[in-house]
């Protein structure tokens, strides 16, 4: 029966080409605009580490002085001081933990054909790579022993490896950074989580770092910190604050493999804050938070407000297109009142006529969906040409491709409900009499 209705739909649409074209165009415009913005929103609000993000947590504590403190309203700091970061790291209360910050390093290539250049760097501890599931093309990460010994070792990205060494195995080779020689121990594979969840202070959506070096070594050789610094009291600030200064500038992540461990770690943070208050370092009551990756992204409102606004505007435009489609379908179906009356007189039920008209609406939706898909590709191409940091991520993945046709079909069926129901109410006797 569906095949029969489908054949009737094609015949009907072919008889009224102008009206059909207007309906298809209305659906295509609405779907194209909404899928462009929905795809951008989908990409920006996605899980950067599927399968891992639920066990990775960002601890927050509040080491500030009492000035400006409002009980129940003051929020803990978004980063940690050097002292707190090292204390939490050395406590080893989590399954894994990583203390880190970002910077820029001067790369001095051994190849004379390349000029020196600056590269984004991550100064971190050994568990970073295992926690975040960083794959390796060559070699491996450094270990805790290298952290403790302040070894001058480095991991580089495959992108930087291609630029400096032509993509070959560069492990064991020397890399000169900020005038200091480092030994390459590993080359990462394809790893580029977006949003850049582990350090939202530098950038949210952009290319990831090309160089990774031990945090302890970065401090020894004076590598410059490039990120947010928040000080209070007599904190001096600067590019790389003094380790004893009351300034937060480091990020600390932990891996906790069960909800029970997460609850225990939050209790540990409360006890740590109480201990530091008793020692005179903290002045405020314990104020801690422990958020996993997706909660941390929501807390920081990583998705730009303009993207959310554009999505709502596009969905509003789709609604306007649907209202126009309802009017066009109503006009088209009512023009066929005599045809539908004859079918009723020959024994067709209202249910059968309703199904026939909905199939016709669905065909309009599928054709409109193909047009909307083309417009979405054009819209995303225009987004990628914008100067925004997230622009390069605007691509239609298989899930959104399926959503495009599902939305087009659903929208057209919704638009066809009222016209189909109205057309089925026509009395067949009146149509036969008028004929």
Q: Whole-number mean pLDDT of the chain?
A: 85
pLDDT at residue 264 tops 90:
yes
**pLDDT for residue 47:** 86
Q: Is residue 136 classed as helix, strand or coil in its secondary structure?
A: strand
Domain layout of the chain by residue ranges: 2-45+303-434, 53-299
pLDDT tens digits, residue range 105-159?
999 998 778 899 999 999 999 999 999 999 999 999 999 999 999 999 999 999 9
**pLDDT for residue 262:** 96
Average pLDDT over residues 287-300: 93
Please state the length of the chain. Answer: 435
What's the start-to-end Cα distance of the chain, in Å?
28
pLDDT tens digits, residue range 360-386?
788 888 888 888 889 888 888 888 887
Instruction: Compare 329 and 157 and report the one with higher pLDDT.
Output: 157
DSSP state of 250: B
| Closest to 126 (Cα-Cα) out of 136, 141, 148 | 141
**pLDDT for residue 295:** 93
- C-alpha–C-alpha distance, residues 203 and 185, integer Å: 26
Which helix (H) or strand (E) is 404 found in, with range?
helix 398-424
Percent of the chain at pLDDT exceeding 70: 87
Where do we find the tokens 């913005």?
37
Lowest mean pLDDT among 6-10, 24-28, 228-232, 246-250: 6-10
pLDDT at residue 429 tops 60:
no
Lowest mean pLDDT among 29-43, 167-181, 267-281: 29-43
**pLDDT for residue 219:** 94
Tokens coding 48: 């950067």
**pLDDT for residue 346:** 61
**pLDDT for residue 347:** 60
Q: Please count the other Cβ atoms lying within 10 Å of the Cβ belonging to residue 202.
A: 18
**pLDDT for residue 414:** 83
pLDDT tens digits, residue range 82-111?
999 999 999 999 999 999 999 999 999 987
pLDDT tier, 26 (very low <50, low <70, confident <90, very high otherwise): confident
**pLDDT for residue 74:** 86
Cβ atoms of 404 and 31 closer than 8 Å: yes
- C-alpha–C-alpha distance, residues 338 and 335, integer Å: 8
Beta bridge partners of 59: 290
Q: Please count the other Cβ atoms lying within 10 Å of the Cβ belonging to residue 237.
A: 13
pLDDT tier, 293 (very low <50, low <70, confident <90, very high otherwise): very high
Cβ atoms of 422 and 333 closer than 8 Å: yes
The DSSP secondary structure of 155-179, one letter per residue, reads EE-HHHHHHHHTTS--TT-EEEETT
Average pLDDT over residues 387-407: 77
Where do runs of H (alpha helix) occur along 17-105?
A: 17-44, 82-91
Tokens coding 381: 């191409």
pLDDT tier, 408 (very low <50, low <70, confident <90, very high otherwise): confident
Beta strands 180-188 and 174-177, pairing class: antiparallel
Percent of the chain at pLDDT exceeding 90: 43
Q: Residues 6 or more apart from 386 whose CB is under 8 A from it?
A: none
**pLDDT for residue 389:** 66
Average pLDDT over residues 259-284: 95
205 sits in the region (left: phi over 0; alpha: psi -120 to 50; else beta) called beta
Instruction: Compare 301 and 58 and report the one with higher pLDDT.
Output: 58
Instruction: Compare 4 and 172 and report the one with higher pLDDT.
Output: 172
Cβ atoms of 284 and 74 closer than 8 Å: yes
- Tell me the range of 195-204, 275-284, 331-340 where mean pLDDT is highest: 275-284
The backbone torsions φ and ψ at residue 175, rounded to the nearest 5 degrees and listed phi first, read -135, 120
pLDDT at residue 342 tops 70:
no
Tokens coding 155: 């991991």
């Amino acid at each position: 029966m569906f095949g029969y209705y489908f054949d009737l739909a094609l015949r009907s649409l072919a008889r009224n080409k102008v009206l059909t074209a207007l309906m298809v165009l209305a659906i295509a415009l609405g779907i194209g605009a909404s899928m462009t913005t929905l795809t951008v929103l989908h990409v920006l609000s996605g899980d950067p580490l599927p399968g891992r993000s639920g066990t990775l947590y960002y601890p927050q504590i509040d080491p500030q002085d009492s000035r400006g403190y409002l009980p129940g309203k003051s929020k803990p700091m978004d980063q940690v001081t050097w002292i707190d970061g090292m204390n939490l790291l050395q406590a080893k209360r989590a399954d894994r933990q990583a203390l880190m910050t970002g910077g820029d390093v001067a790369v001095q290539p051994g190849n004379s054909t390349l000029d020196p250049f600056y590269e984004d760097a991550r100064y971190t501890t050994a568990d970073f790579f295992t926690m975040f599931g960083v794959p390796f093309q060559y070699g491996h990460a450094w270990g805790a022993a290298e952290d403790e010994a302040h070894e001058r070792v480095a991991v580089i990205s495959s992108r930087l490896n291609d630029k400096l060494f032509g993509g070959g195995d560069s492990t064991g080779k020397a890399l000169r950074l900020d005038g200091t020689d480092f030994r390459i121990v590993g080359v990462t594979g394809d790893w580029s989580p977006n949003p850049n969840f582990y350090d939202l202070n530098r950038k949210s959506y952009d290319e990831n770092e090309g160089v990774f070096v031990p945090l302890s070594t970065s401090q020894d050789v004076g590598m410059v910190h490039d990120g947010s610094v928040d000080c209070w009291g007599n904190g001096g600030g600067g590019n790389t604050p003094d380790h004893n200064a009351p300034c937060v500038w480091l990020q600390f992540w932990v891996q906790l493999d069960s909800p029970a461990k997460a609850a225990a770690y939050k209790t540990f943070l409360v006890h740590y804050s109480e201990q530091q208050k008793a020692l005179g370092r903290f002045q405020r009551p314990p104020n801690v938070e422990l958020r996993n990756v997706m909660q941390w992204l929501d807390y920081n409102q990583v998705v730009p407000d303009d993207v959310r606004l554009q999505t709502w505007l596009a969905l509003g435009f789709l609604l306007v297109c649907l209202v126009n489609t309802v009017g066009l379908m109503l006009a088209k179906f009512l023009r066929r009142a005599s045809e539908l009356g004859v079918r009723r007189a020959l024994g067709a039920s209202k249910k059968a006529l309703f199904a026939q008209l909905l199939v016709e609406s669905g065909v309009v939706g599928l054709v409109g969906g193909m047009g909307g898909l083309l417009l979405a590709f054009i819209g995303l191409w225009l987004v990628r040409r914008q100067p925004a940091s997230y622009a390069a991520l605007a691509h239609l993945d298989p899930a959104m491709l399926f959503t495009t046709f599902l939305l087009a079909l659903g929208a057209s069926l919704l638009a066809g409900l009222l016209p189909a129901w109205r057309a089925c109410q026509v009395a067949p006797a009146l149509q036969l009499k008028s004929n």
